[in-house]
Amino acid sequence: MIPGDGIGPAITAATVRLLAASGANIEWDSRDAGLAGVARCGDPIPEATLDSIKRTRLALKGPLETPLGSGYRSVTVALRQTFDLFANVRPALSILPQGRYPHLDLVLIRENTEGLYSGIEHYVRVGDDPHAAAESIAIITRAGSERITRFAFEYAVKHGRAKVTLVHKANILKYSQGLFLDTGRMVAREYAGRIEFEERIVDATAMNLVLRPERFDVIVTTNLFGDILSDQISGLVGGLGLAPGANIGERGAIFEAVHGTAPDIAGKGTANPAALMLAACMLLEHIGDDARAGRIRTAIERTIRAGLSVTPDLGGSATTDGFTDAIIAAL
């Protein structure tokens, strides 16, 4: 458990209380990172935190602030890289009753380690201008494409989903995106008759996600497209306040809320803990406790739809603790 910075400790405490009330058999090993890591251990990613995740291969993580001058672009991204958490899983489920799309239930699976975010960038000097041009290189590997598309199909099988849509731009980026598409087609053949497969170009997907999002089920795509489309699907169901995310690899899994440390409301007792609670439900499913995850998710949904004891960002006036009490009562 990494409580995190800003509103992190408040929403993780609420989540731990909810999981305890649900009877989940989890022993938490609380560790620091981010600003709290620097304050208590002099390191934004303390060795003890890494050791804990290596041992348990599982973490529930509050949002982290990356200290300036720490040498990291993002502590959260560094944690994903350390454990090679190649699959970023972002479900979008309609919970808010007044939402634009009341019946959405889709999942985006983003490749987390390759593509245009491989970190290979440089300037090109022309004449006396050292920054006359810049190059960013997208690396796509067959192995990386195979493991993420296979992950998407296995996710679909495990969660009883019907279709995987592979999103690409192979019509223009014939080599890198072409390799991703070819590899995805090969993996899809192994699931023929069990999971439907379709391929779509990213720009058309962006439009169709707005026009007819109900036609999507599981989407799998490369790093940059996944980054953009995952925020888009969060927007379809009411924004980042209710968006959980999981980062999963062979050596571990980290579950988190998609939102940040919310410095503007930190310490006020009004942070909405629901996104982290939904991330904890994903953690429970990851360890095979699907029934409990389902019960907790239903309690969260009912409490939000009832609208009586919700936090200010959801239109109510409840505190973090009051909202949590209402969810526990619904449970």
> In terms of CB distance, is 221 or 311 closer to ligand NAD?
311
Q: Which residue is nearest to ligand NAD (CB)?
A: 260
Pseudo-torsion of CA 230, 232, 236, 240, nearest 10°? 70
- Between 106 and 271, CB nearer to ligand NAD: 271
Tell the smallest beta-carbon distance from residue 261 to ligand NAD (Å): 4
CB closer to ligand NAD out of 181 and 271? 271
Q: What is the smallest separation between the CB atom of 229 and ligand NAD, expressed in angstroms?
A: 17
Residue 24 CB, nearest approach to ligand NAD (Å): 21
- The reply to whether 5 belongs to the active site is no
Q: Which one is catalytic: 5, 32, 217, 227?
A: 227
Closer Cβ to ligand NAD, 34 or 213, answer by number: 34
What residues line the site for ligand NAD (CB under 6 A)?
A: 7, 11, 63-66, 76, 240-241, 256, 259-265, 271-272, 275, 313
In the complex, what is the shortest distance from the CB of residue 155 to ligand NAD, in angstroms, rounded to a whole number? 21
Write out the two tokens for 127: 């004449």
| Per annotation, catalytic residue among 5, 169, 217, 325 | 169
* Closer of 285 and 313 to ligand NAD (Cβ): 313
What minimum distance in Å lies between the beta carbon of 274 and ligand NAD? Answer: 7
Q: Which of 101, 117, 155, 191 is catalytic?
A: 117
Whether 169 sits among the annotated catalytic residues: the reply is yes
Residues taking part in catalysis: 117, 169, 203, 227
